[in-house]
Amino acid sequence: MAKTEKVYIYKSYERFWHWTQAFLIFFLALTGFEVHGSFSFFGFESAVDLHNKAAWAFIILTIFTIFWHFTTGEWRQYLPTTENLRAQAEYYIFGIFRNAPHPTRKTTLSKLNPLQRLVYLSLKILVFPVMIASGLAYMFYRYPSEGEIVELGISSLERVALAHTIGAYILIAFVVVHLYLITTGHTVTSNLKAMITGWEELEKDEKEDDKKKNDEPEKEIS
C-alpha cells in the first residue's frame, strides 16, 4: 500500500470560490428552469429577478477569480497536456472499477489530472463565456435609455436562448459527473473533506524521499 502524507493543497480563496460557484450554478439552474416553465417554485417574476441577481454574483465572482488565478500563478494548473491523457481516460472507463492504481499523482503544483485540465479549461474558456454572453444578451436585449427603449440589434433571441440552454445542460452534466468523481478518492469522503478543510492525504513520492536521505550528510560518530 502506498504511503501517504497530509498536504495543504486547497487555499482559502480556492475553497471559497469553489463552494460559492457551486451554489450559484445550482441556484441559476433552479431559477433558470423555472423561467423556462419547467416547474413553479418562486413564481415567474421572482425567478427572473433572482436569476438575474445570481448571474451578476457569478460574473463578479468570475472576475475576482480570474484576478486571483493570474496573481497567484494558479492559472498554470489548467494548462493542457497529453502526457498520461489516454491512461487517465482508460482509468475512468475501466481501471477505476478494477481498483487499478491512479495513473497520475496529485501535488500542490499539479492538482488536476490531464483529463480534468481539459474539462476545466473548456468550462472556463468556452462554456462560462457563452453562458455569460448569452445571459447578458437576454438582460439587455431591450433596455431603457434616456426615456427610450434601446435594442441591441439582435434580430431574434432564439439562437441566444438555444446557446444558453445547451450551456445549462452541459453544466448540469458536468455537475453530475463531478459529484460521482468526488466519491472516488482514497475514501468516499476524502475529496469532499479536502475541499472543506484544504488538507488532503496524498501519496508520498518515495523516490524523492530516498533522494533526500542520500543527499543528507552522514553524521560523524563522536
Give this prediction's pTM.
Answer: 0.84
Q: Which domains does the chain have, with CATH numbers?
A: 4-204 (1.20.950.20)
Q: What's the pLDDT tens digit per position in 148-192?
A: 545 666 667 788 889 999 999 999 999 999 999 999 888 889 999
What pLDDT score was predicted for residue 46? 95
Beta strands in the chain (DSSP E): 4-8, 142-145, 148-151, 199-203
Residue found under cell 477569480: 65
Q: What's the pLDDT tens digit per position in 199-212?
A: 998 877 644 444 44
Residues 10 and 195 sit within 8 Å (Cβ to Cβ): yes
Q: What is the Cα–Cα distance from 216 to 210, expressed in whole angstroms?
A: 10
Helix 128-139, helix 158-182: angle, nearest 10: 140
